[in-house]
Amino acid sequence: MTDPKKIMFECRIVPVITIEALEQAAPLGQALQAAGYTALEVTFRTPHAAAAISAMKQACPELHIGAGTITGTEQFDAACAAGSDFLVSPGTSDALFNLFDTVDIPVFPGVASASEAISAFERGYQVQKFFPASAIGGSAALKALAAPLANISFMPTGGIHGANMQEYLSLSNVVAVGGSWMIDKAAVAQADWAQVTAFAQQQKS
């Protein structure tokens, strides 16, 4: 299995993408790759998610294309069938953990508390999504978890943007941050891929 940390360490910022129109998937992947991103999370929040993952993987074979918003069997099966390189969930349940146990790709289960993080760690997940980060204490909460949960690393998402991402990335227990702030949605709607790349590149620094 790919080391979950390796996926995140190449570029520590993971765009979280919601695909509104399938034809946007491949050029959006290419535009974000041109901006220097190496892993993308495609959310299962529109009917296009699975097809978008397949299209992006075909257009950008070097990218790690993950599936997000995995909350049940339907999304899980579709994400796996589409060839997702990793899975992300906003939270967990026994049923979800049982599904995750059946795959050999990295899974980042969502947690929002020390108890949830310990439960996920007990199930074998050392790198977890911390969600919704800004609403549950942000970087201060993650900093406070670092000493008691020394073996657990996090990818926070939710409310992260260019101005606060360094607060998170500077923490010892944060492997990467995720979010949608680097995507210029107006440029995506207009298929202005040069602008999508330029904006996404600017939002990394």
Closest alpha carbon to 91 in 132, 46, 44: 132
At 30, list the tokens. 């290419």
**Part in contact with ligand 3PG (CB under 6 A); list of ranges 79-87, 144-152, 166-174, 179-187:** 179-187
Which residue type sits at 186?
Answer: A
Q: Confirm or reject binding of residue 16 to ligand 3PG (CB under 6 A).
A: yes
Least gap, CB of 197 to ligand 3PG (angstroms)? 19
- Restricting to residues 44-83, which ones interact with ligand 3PG according to CB under 6 A? 68
- Residues with a known catalytic role: 41, 129
The reply on whether position 158 binds ligand 3PG by CB under 6 A is yes
Q: Is 157 in the site for ligand 3PG (CB under 6 A)?
A: yes
CA 197 remoteness from chain centre: 19
| CB closer to ligand 3PG, 6 vs 161 | 161
158 neighbors 135 (Cβ within 8 angstroms): yes
H-helix or E-strand spanning residue 178? strand 177-179
Cα distances (Å, whole numbers) of residue 150 to 8, 77, 124, 125, 172: 19, 33, 15, 13, 9
Of 30-38, 140-148, 156-164, 185-193, the segment contacting ligand 3PG by CB under 6 A is 156-164
Q: Does 159 help bind ligand 3PG (rule: CB under 6 A)?
A: yes
Asked if 180 touches ligand 3PG (CB under 6 A), the answer is: yes
Which residues are registered as beta bridge partners of 65? 40
List, edge to edge, every strand of the sheet that includes 107-108: 107-108, 86-88, 64-68, 39-43, 13-17, 177-179
x/- contact string, 131-150, with ligand 3PG (CB under 6 A)? Answer: x-------------------
Residue 178 interacting with ligand 3PG (CB under 6 A): yes
